[in-house]
Amino acid sequence: MVETDEKWLDWAMRLQSLAQNGLAYTTNTFDKERFEEIRQIAAEMLVTPSGMPLEKVEELFCNETGYQTPKLDTRAAIFQENQILLVQENDGLWALPGGWCDVDQSIMDNTIKEVEEEAGLTVTAERLIAVLDKHKSQPSRSVHHVTKCFVLCQRVSGEFVVNSETIASAYFTLDSLPELSLGKTTPEQIALCFEANQAEHWETVFN
């Protein structure tokens, strides 16, 4: 995405946030109409840069209510003989097992749930490795502000089974990583997980 599109995305995200917050708190009918219009404009601003139809943008971008907050994404780091577990998604790219944090789940519980769903493993969550702002640490941008939580986990039992989200799983060394889904996992994030796994004492990284 070029720099101009980056600015458009930032502006649209800010307008969407202001409109959603306004809709959450205003009781004035006319103000609600104005905030709805601002939200619609924000969605339309994303149609050209994203290449998606307006209906899809609205579905992804304008489908929430209440005060606008970042979305939480949890990712599990599971090691075996100094190799890290990655799962292969339907598009052929690889990532740490994980996903959006469900509204009724803690970071720990959601991490454990995602590993079971995507990798077929039962794990225990041992250590919070990092809490990272996606916009600061990943090249791939999104229409939501995302906070990513990386959790060091220990395998207890289970085996991989092909499912609706992933088609394979495997362990990799840091110098032999497959093609990654960079919107979900970067080499730098994986390297951080290796550091945390090898450290006797670890302080959670945050930005």
Same structural domain, 28 and 76: no
Cα radius of gyration rounded to whole Å, the chain = 19
Q: What is the pLDDT of residue 193?
A: 98
Domain annotation covers residue 66: no
111-150 pLDDT, tens digit each = 999 999 999 999 999 999 999 998 776 665 566 678 999 9
**pTM score, two decimals?**
0.76
Q: Examine the domain organization and report whether 119 and 159 are in the same domain.
A: yes
User: Which stretches within the chain are classed as H helix?
Assistant: 3-25, 29-50, 54-61, 107-119, 134-137, 187-198
**Are residues 191 and 174 in contact, defined by beta-carbon separation less than 8 angstroms?**
yes
Of 113, 98, 86, residue with least CA distance to 168: 86
The answer to whether 59 touches 74, Cβ cutoff 8 Å, is no
Q: Which of 61, 79, 106 is the last residue of a domain?
A: 61
Q: Each residue of 34-90: pLDDT tens digit?
A: 888 887 887 787 776 666 677 766 655 666 667 767 889 999 999 999 999 999 999
Structural domain that includes position 21: 3-61
* Structural domain count, the chain: 2
- Rounded CA separation 166/120 (Å): 10
Q: Do 14 and 89 belong to one domain?
A: no
